[in-house]
Amino acid sequence: MSFDVMQSRPSFPRRLLGFVEANGQEAIILAAIILLFVVVGVVNPRFLGNSNLTSIFSGNAYIAVAAIGMALVIISGNIDVSVGSLIGVLATIAGTLAVNGYPIIVCWLAPLAVGVAINAFVGFLVAYVRIPSIVVTLGMLSVLKGGLISATAGAWINNLPPEFMLAQFRPFGVPAPIYFMVTLTLLAALWMRYSGFGRTIYAIGGNPDAARVTGIRIERSIVCVFMIHGFFAGIAAVLFATQLQVIQSTVPPNLELTVITAAVVGGVSILGGTGTVIGSTLAAILFAAIGSALIFTNVSAYWLRAVQGLFILATVLADMARRRRLR
Amino acid sequence: MYKTMILALGLAVGSGGVAMAQSAWTGGDDLPTSPLACDGAAGAAAAMPYDGGQPTAAPDLKGQKITVVDVPKLIGIGYFNATSKGIADAATELGSVDAKTDGPTKANIDEQITFLDNYITSGVNGILFAANDPVAIAPVLKKALSKGIHVVGYDANSTPDAREWFVNQAQFNGIAKSMIDNMAKEAGEEAAFAIVTSTFTTPNQARWIAEMAAYQAQCHPKMKWLETVEAQEDNVLSFNQATTLINKYGDELKGIFGMTSVATPASAEAVSQGGKCGSIAVVGLATPNAMKPYVEKDCVKSVVLWNPVDLGYAAMYVLRAAIDGDLKPGATSVKAGKLGELQVINGSEVLLGQPYTFTKENIGNFDF
Amino acid sequence: MTAIVELRQVSKSFGNLKVLKDVSFDVQPGEVHALLGENGAGKSTLIKIISGVLHPDEGELRVVGEAVRLASPREARGRGIATVYQELLLFPELSVAENIYLGHAPRTRWGAIDWPKMRSGARALLDSLDSHDLDVDTKVGLLSVANRQRVEIAKALSQEARLLIMDEPTAALADSDARKLLTIVRRLRDRGVGIIYVSHRMQEIFALADRVTVLRDGAFIATKPIGEVTEGSLVSMMVGRSIDQLFPKTETARGATVLELRNVSHREIVRNVSLTLRAGEILGIAGLIGSGRTETALTIFGITPATSGEILVDGKPVVIDSPAAARALGIAYVPEDRGLQGLVKPQTIRENISLAIIDRLARLLLIDRRREGQLARESIARFGIRARGPEQLVRQLSGGNQQKVVLAKWIATEPRVLIMDEPTRGIDVGAKAEIHALMSKLAGQGLAVLMISSELPEVLGMSDRVLVMRGGAVVAEFDRADATPDAVGSAMTAAGQSSLEGAA
Amino acid sequence: MTIRSFLRHETILLLLLVIALIVLAQQSDRFFTTDNLLNQARLMAEVGLLALPMTFVIVTGGIDLSVGSIFGLAAILLGVFWHGLGLPLPLAMALAVLVGGIAGLGNGLIITRFNVPPLIATLATLALYRGLAEGISQARSVRGYPEWFFVLGQGEVLGLPTQLWFLLAIAIAAAIVLGLTTFGRTTYAIGANEVAARFSGLNVARTKLLIYTGSGLVAGLAAVIFVSRVSTTRSDMGTGLELDVITAVVLGGTSIFGGRGTIIGTLLGLILMQALKSGLALGGVKGDGTIVVIGVVLIAAILLGNLLSRNGDG
């Protein structure tokens, strides 16, 4: 019986699956974003207003930037659950330097350097000492979070100099975070496709044994991946720190889960080896759009998390169906 | 079989949802409200008998060195930094007090209870607290009382019998009146407004919102309540939510209330970055330092808050007085250093005073 | 002529265990040099030294006459030494072209990967291997084993390898694919590439090699031109003794029909398969990879339950929808992929042997450790498993002993039907004979054995009857007497359409 | 031989624990008192309960990030069933535990039926179940439980906190099931090689389903105990609990890749964590400092285990 079904014209889900397989998760998310814009736009045209689109795109830009690094980490077959704490620490470093009158460029670059340094250590523990990344970063989560509060005693940072506020610049009327998000995503996407190292990351995540005998220096590559991730976390931290006039010295709640979710929903498989950074950025935008749409459609904010959960589940199921055909 | 079970879950969840969702939701709690009169005349406060708890067999420590721990809702936010500073100031002033602040990194009852429990074991003489949940915290506080430890709350109360005194920064209805009156003055009697709060589960905020709704309905009936959004204790999320509100309602929106010291500056920033200074009023609870930039450029006219440094300061004095036996059940006032005599209300609460409104003229005088 | 690679008096130890003792070895350009030895003889270590994974403790390694110390596989590749590993090491999520060029992709002027050039390069390489049907943009995960192998070889060639190390390249291939591979190897040799060829298949070695080197227990035994050796002499050099009988098939009385399949199908992979299996009989199934042999076994075993048709055990129709159901009916399956499907490698021999009957060893849900230990000790003795004891971890055993553990696990269930899929893949000659002897003995005790193998000699040597499968269906059946290599071979490939006469 | 290598991590942990206890006892004379120890047992009961099924989950090579959310959902529904629907409290308690089980079953079904990696599946249900808790409760608390209910979370039985009896009973049951039964053996086999377990006729899907369901059930039970301890229900209960639970299990030597781990290890990890929290606080270290120490101890313990086991393998 099932024999006949298989022989007949492919059913709709099957064709949809084929579409996803050909165009990837990115296409699905893009379609979801467009659908959301159209539906909510009809309900309330202000949703598509210039200012709202701008805030949707810029509001989650720092999450998108952090998700780029996270995507690389996950593609390489690892994970980082400490990224939220790391961003909190780096933002505080940037703010402290700025308040103490260091040159602005130093304030912007220091978090990148520190992020790279901290994650070089994490990468070292993962690659050379062979502690699973989830364990290392679970530990780092505690260390960074506790350390941050110890060091700052919980004080907020006020009186930031105006020229420090990178995220508030609006060249040509468009907020700076959008430039960062778009440029970094495109650069990272091109780099992942056209650089030798980019392909190496896929190789390590896809088949580490094969990567080793192919002559790839896995340990070094994993350390590099974590360092790049730290670099992106640094940029995200600067965007995060310069968005408002104050910097909270606590870690933004659940930030790591949001970043991981953006990467995963964007089509980065948790099993390693697949995914693109364009998908993760689109997913970050989608989350911002959903949050905004819930307010516009007067859906009780209580159900926001339930909606998000369902959404993650749906995209993951699609991903599993796609992968099953590859194996 | 699985289908049946999933169906059962769905039913359980659904019926639960229906059961709880009878009333329209504004973000307030469902306790009775007691709005003040519109002209501000103090309601006739019936004198209540003392309803606090008392430590059992507390040692006489009058004038001796004591150790005190302060466990706020969470550490790492400006507000509790300020109260902590007040406590430290008072401790220094009083001399023989060794006070420290320690608490969870997120406003979480589970962790707060663990902290309290550990300090009870470590043998402190007095506990200051700001409760994450009035009921949940009660058992552990009662345990402290039973071990002869003096317990005083501030900012967020517990059930009365679980502590001796509570230093009330300002009555809920007083805050509500102040907030709504300021908004009516700035945005007009017919203004439409929205609220940005932390989470719907924080008791103080829920209480204030409920009182605000009651007071607004009674005294400013033409004002329009648009909606309440949740923004955790997260700067950027608060900013995003406020921006979305501005985008959604456009010119209809005349005012935003910030219910926390995180939400208010973020809402002000959203108004400021949206170029809506002057057309959307921001009124809210916040610390002066975070609000100075907006007040100084006239984007925000009034910030409502008691002085949290004073709150901590008063709490420390009340605790010392309780330990020394100077503040006994039935007292009508207590001396609190530079703050002078503070009044006892509602049986076992010490009132800090009226909420303070910071404006452009006076905000420069504060640094917390 | 200078040797591409030369090892002089090389030794290597792991801890106290000396795995290579004073071995000398060399490969000339344009030569296929076969490397033989039982598992554990030191072949892998030798290969790893040449490919830069390991360093010799003593002795020297010369590449084109120059003494070198290869720090990494990367450096070895830089010197033109490429390896095609036994377990194919490719990246399933990457395309064919990317796999071929991973790590040394052509670059544009700006240092970016030159995708068009990479794709055309990959195309040219595959064409040179007569693999015109392989699309360079397909993800490798979608390819068959044989095609993946071609990608591996193309990958080695793309690095302009002067020396190609092939470790059991045909182990996973059916005969026709293996023959194609041999053609490719010869072509490479003619281009002047030196090839180290490791295989357990004697036929191939005689068809391909110019010289043969035999290792035993880490020691160098001999290097000889292929003309100077015979199969027998090689085997005795490898095992250090002569093997009496390669396929110790004993005639047994065939009993009643135990298992019968009537028009069983699973999707399109298994089509209308009918067969009968009797007690005491060894029924061989021959066929190429993808012909449906393993798939039929998986259907009988309940991994991929039948979508139509009838399965009868002892003449009664049964439903087998899970391995547990199959086990309850007395069906056992010794799987194709030992490491993945057969063993829980981080666990002990005891735990592995009891795995399939753990319910039966339990009293009130609690495992009876005493009985479990007893079973393990008995099995070790009965199957001749060479191990320190029941508590040794399975991953520390050699391939042959691991296979015996899998066999012991299933015999412990006291099955009536034993399915053995590739029972001797990757096992050395000595252990192979032991497995074959065990198989014969079990059949002699009345067990019905269904054996699947890619090695024609094994099928022909061990079976009472032979079924041939192609395209998911049974296309021919032979009795032992009629099953000649030619007849079975041509039925496996589409060549011998006429031999359908025996099909059920 | 194997027994020794099997217990190696546990031995290290025990050693670490003893050292920690000695050092902490030096810091404060109030640490090593019956009173404090019993009190700490009360405080760690919920995390401890959740850590037991989590050990099973991680031994199969999976993970359950949603336990904190199931905990919150069950707590909220306890209040809703009792207060909102007017059911008798004992029935409401049973239903709350059952809801936890069903939520866990939901995880299991997503994982086994659709082959979704557990990390992702439970990441999704982490948001979903918490969202349901928030949506259903509309963020309102339910209070005013009768006095007898508090026996569970605040009372004592035979001189020990009530919940400690639950923890002990379930821990013993879990240790027996994981260590001595066919179910436990199946759990290890799945974690070490799932395919081989399936090919050996073990019912992999059912085992996983049971484990995730059990994880949910125990989360429901822990939630009821917690509600009894704090006398109220809130929808944010148990937020972030999963990280504590996983830390305890991993600290206890259970391999995050599956196939290895014991209940005894988990209990040791749990006790070490709680001892550090309490002891450091009594010794005058603040909460943020304690968090740092726990993070460092986690990494160090795994590091030590790695180094020693590598030496052992030769």
C-alpha to C-alpha distance for B289 and A46, rounded to whole angstroms: 34
D119 close to A (CB below 8 A): yes
Query: Average pLDDT in the A110-114 region?
Result: 93
CB contact under 8 A, D127 and A312: yes
- Helix or strand (DSSP H, E) at D211: helix D204-230
Q: What is the pLDDT of residue A1?
A: 33
- pLDDT tens digits for range A276-287: 888 889 988 888
Domain, as residue range, for C390 = 344-412
- Kindly state whether residues C13 and C140 are assigned to the same domain: yes
> Which residues is D160 bridged to in the sheet?
D157
C-alpha to C-alpha distance for D210 and D204, rounded to whole angstroms: 10
Q: Count how many domains chain C has.
A: 3
- 3-state DSSP call for residue D64? coil
C-alpha to C-alpha distance for B54 and B250, rounded to whole angstroms: 54
Q: Do the domain assignments include residue A243?
A: yes
Domain, as residue range, for D79 = 41-238
Please report the sign of the dihedral spanned by the C-alpha atoms of residue B65, residue B70, residue B75, residue B78: negative
Low pLDDT (below 70) residues in chain B: 1-31, 40-47, 201
Q: Do the domain assignments include residue A160?
A: yes
Domain, as residue range, for A134 = 58-252+271-276
- Kindly state whether residues C270 and C375 are assigned to the same domain: no
Q: Do the domain assignments include residue C338?
A: no
Q: Count how many domains chain D has.
A: 1
DSSP string, A8-45: SSPPHHHHHHHHHHHHHHHHHHHHHHHHHHHHHHHH-G
CB contact under 8 A, C112 and A214: no
DSSP string, A74-129: HHTT---S-HHHHHHHHHHHHHHHHHTT--HHHHHHHHHHHHHHHHHHHHHHHHTS
Asked whether at least 3 C-beta pairs link C and D within 8 Å, the reply is yes
CB contact under 8 A, A207 and C89: yes
Please give the distance of CA B219 from its chain centroid, rounded to a whole number: 23
Q: Do the domain assignments include residue A193?
A: yes
Q: What is the pLDDT of residue A323?
A: 61
Q: Do the domain assignments include residue C362?
A: yes
Tell me which residue in D141, D236, D287 faces B103 most closely, judged by beta carbons.
D287
Residue D7 has pLDDT above 70, yes or no: no
Among residues C397, C412, C427, the one where a domain terminates is C412
Q: Do the domain assignments include residue C17?
A: yes
Q: Do the domain assignments include residue D51?
A: yes
D226 close to B (CB below 8 A): yes
CB C7 within 8 A of CB C50: yes
Please report which confidence band the pLDDT of residue C20 belongs to, taking 50, 70 and 90 as the band edges.
Answer: confident
C473 phi-psi bin (left φ>0, alpha ψ -120 to 50, beta other): beta
Q: What is the mean pLDDT of chain C?
A: 83
Q: Do the domain assignments include residue D34?
A: no
Q: What is the pLDDT of residue B30?
A: 67
Q: Which amino acid is located at C310 in the chain?
A: E
- pLDDT tens digits for range C160-196: 788 888 887 776 666 677 788 888 888 888 888 899 9
Please report which confidence band the pLDDT of residue C62 belongs to, taking 50, 70 and 90 as the band edges.
Answer: confident
> Which residues is B302 bridged to in the sheet?
B283
Q: What is the pLDDT of residue C246?
A: 63
- Kindly state whether residues C408 and C419 are assigned to the same domain: no
- Kindly state whether residues C85 and C161 are assigned to the same domain: yes
3-state per-residue secondary structure call for B128-144: EECCCCCCCCHHHHHHH
- pLDDT tens digits for range D227-246: 998 888 887 888 888 888 99
**Phi/psi of residue B342, nearest 5 degrees:** -110, 145
User: In CATH, what number is assigned to the domain containing residue C215?
Assistant: 3.40.50.300
Domains of chain B: 66-170+308-354 (3.40.50.2300), 172-304 (3.40.50.2300)
**Phi/psi of residue C124, nearest 5 degrees:** -65, -40
Query: Average pLDDT in the C66-81 region?
Result: 82
Residue C503 has pLDDT above 60, yes or no: no
pTM for the full model? 0.83
What is the nearest CA distance from D118 to chain C, expressed in angstroms? 21
Query: Average pLDDT in the A255-262 region?
Result: 85
Helical ranges in C259-346 per DSSP H: 293-300, 323-328
Of residues A23, A146, A166, the one with CA closest to residue A85: A146
Of residues D202, D177, D56, the one with CA closest to residue C355: D202
Q: Do the domain assignments include residue D281?
A: no
Q: Count how many domains chain A has.
A: 1
Judged by average pLDDT, the poorest of C14-18, C56-60, D31-35, D83-87 is: C14-18
Cβ contacts from B onto D, under 8 A: 127
Q: What is the pLDDT of residue A16?
A: 54
For the record, the structure tokens of A124 come out as 């070292």
- Kindly state whether residues C480 and C501 are assigned to the same domain: yes
CB A92 within 8 A of CB A98: no
Q: Do the domain assignments include residue D131?
A: yes
- Partners of residue D247 in chain A, C-beta under 8 Å: 138, 142
CB B169 within 8 A of CB B183: no
Percent of chain C topping pLDDT 90: 20
- Helix or strand (DSSP H, E) at C275: strand C270-278
Q: What is the pLDDT of residue A301?
A: 64
Residue with tokens 């190496």: A200
DSSP string, C39-106: TTSSHHHHHHHHTTSS--SEEEEEETTEEE---SHHHHHHTTEEEE-SS----TTSBHHHHHHTTS--
- Kindly state whether residues C250 and C234 are assigned to the same domain: no
- Partners of residue A149 in chain D, C-beta under 8 Å: 288
D189 close to C (CB below 8 A): yes
In chain D, helix, strand, coil percent, each to 5?
75, 0, 20
CB contact under 8 A, D80 and B16: yes
Show which subunits contact A, needing at least 3 CB pairs below 8 angstroms. B, C, D
Please report which confidence band the pLDDT of residue A10 belongs to, taking 50, 70 and 90 as the band edges.
Answer: very low
- Kindly state whether residues C165 and C29 are assigned to the same domain: yes
- pLDDT tens digits for range A189-247: 888 877 778 888 888 887 777 777 777 788 888 999 999 999 999 999 999 888 887 78
Show which subunits contact B, needing at least 3 CB pairs below 8 angstroms. A, D
Residue D142 gets which letter from DSSP? B
Q: What is the pLDDT of residue C64?
A: 84
Show which subunits contact D, needing at least 3 CB pairs below 8 angstroms. A, B, C
Residue C89 has pLDDT above 80, yes or no: no
Residue C107 gets which letter from DSSP? B
CB contact under 8 A, D115 and A132: no
Q: Do the domain assignments include residue D85?
A: yes
Q: Do the domain assignments include residue D46?
A: yes
**Phi/psi of residue C37, nearest 5 degrees:** 160, 155
Q: Do the domain assignments include residue A237?
A: yes
Residue C365 has pLDDT above 60, yes or no: yes
CB D64 within 8 A of CB D243: no
Residue C63 has pLDDT above 90, yes or no: no
Please report which confidence band the pLDDT of residue A56 belongs to, taking 50, 70 and 90 as the band edges.
Answer: confident
C-alpha to C-alpha distance for D268 and D290, rounded to whole angstroms: 18
D89 close to A (CB below 8 A): no
What is the nearest CA distance from A164 to chain D, expressed in angstroms? 29
Dihedral angle of Cα B20, B23, B29, B30, to the nearest 10 degrees: -90
Query: Average pLDDT in the D294-311 region?
Result: 76
Q: Do the domain assignments include residue C339?
A: no
Please report the sign of the dihedral spanned by the C-alpha atoms of residue C85, residue C86, residue C92, residue C97: positive
C-alpha to C-alpha distance for A302 and D223, rounded to whole angstroms: 21
- 3-state DSSP call for residue A134? helix
CB contact under 8 A, C93 and A327: no
Q: What is the pLDDT of residue D215?
A: 96
D140 close to B (CB below 8 A): yes
Return all residues near C125 (Cβ < 8 A) that are at least 6 apart. Answer: C100, C154, C157, C158
